[in-house]
Amino acid sequence: MKRRPLVLIAGWAHTEHALHPVASALHAAAYDIKVKSIWQLLDQMEKATRQGCSPNACRPARGEDLARRGACKENPGLSCYAYALKQILQKQDDPCVVVGWSAGAIVALEVTCETPGSLKGLVLIGATPKFCAEEGYPWGVAARNVRAMIMQVRKEPRAVLGRFFQDVSWPAVESESCLNEKVNAACHIGIEHLVHGLEYLRKMDLRDRLKGIEIPILVIHGKKDRIVPWQAGAWLNRSLPNSRIIIHKGVGHDIPERQAVVLASQIREFLENRC
């Protein structure tokens, strides 16, 4: 029996290991699972650039507009994260389902906006079409706070990351050893990768690009989410015609880590019945 292709994308400051419990709970024998993080997508593009690109390949742009760094002639508005994910999808024999968590969900949604036919379905966990709040869209972080975080992560990365992971796990409380392990892994990613991801989150806005997306989508959100308010997931559900939403009560942003088995069951049901 041919295994179904499935790509899992972890979000900002997380490595792919954050989604390994979900991948394991999905019973890999039934799926051809690839697990990535957004920093690995960026690293993939940087390696391709160093090795030399073809004329139509991604060419990182210079300057401060990091959210559009990695745009190419064929996709001038596509971020380097989305372009790297698009390359992964193009190598699949069949359209696959992408499971994106947090910033990984934004990247997956960006690819879907650009090439909806490349996906068979989409699972968005702790997702938002726009990370920063503005007038008319209050369900996000103030842009000035993200700019401050960019400055602080350069100066005191461990302190910034410690606070971030505490907010990710809230209302649960991480042990000091677990928190240190996550901070160490995030520091290993590299400060510039972390800054690049924050710039992407600060600038990306997909609200006006959702029209025409008709593939089945499952939106999953924690009611206690401190990183991305659950109302952002509800907004997505209202805006996507072929979506449904599941709200996890009493859980925050770390659904893949806190409720991996339950999440895997919900993803499996979605794959079997709607994809």
Domain boundaries, the chain: 4-274
For residue 180, what pLDDT is reported? Answer: 97
Which CATH number does 4-274 carry?
A: 3.40.50.1820
pTM to 2 decimal places:
0.91
Produce one character per residue of 93-113: b if its CB has 16 or more CB atoms within 10 Å, e if not. Answer: eeebbbbbbbbbbbbbbbbbb
Report the candidate in 178, 182, 203, 167 with the shortest Cα–Cα distance to residue 81. Answer: 203
**Residuewise pLDDT in 10s, the chain (275 residues):** 678 899 999 999 999 999 999 999 997 668 899 999 999 998 877 776 656 554 444 444 433 344 444 454 456 678 999 999 999 999 888 889 999 999 999 999 999 998 878 899 999 999 999 999 999 999 999 999 999 999 999 999 999 999 999 999 999 999 999 999 999 999 999 999 999 999 999 999 999 999 889 999 999 999 999 999 999 999 999 999 999 999 999 999 999 999 999 999 999 999 999 98
Given a contact cutoff of 8 angstroms between Cβ atoms, the answer to whether 163 and 13 are in contact is no
Tokens of 261: 């088995």
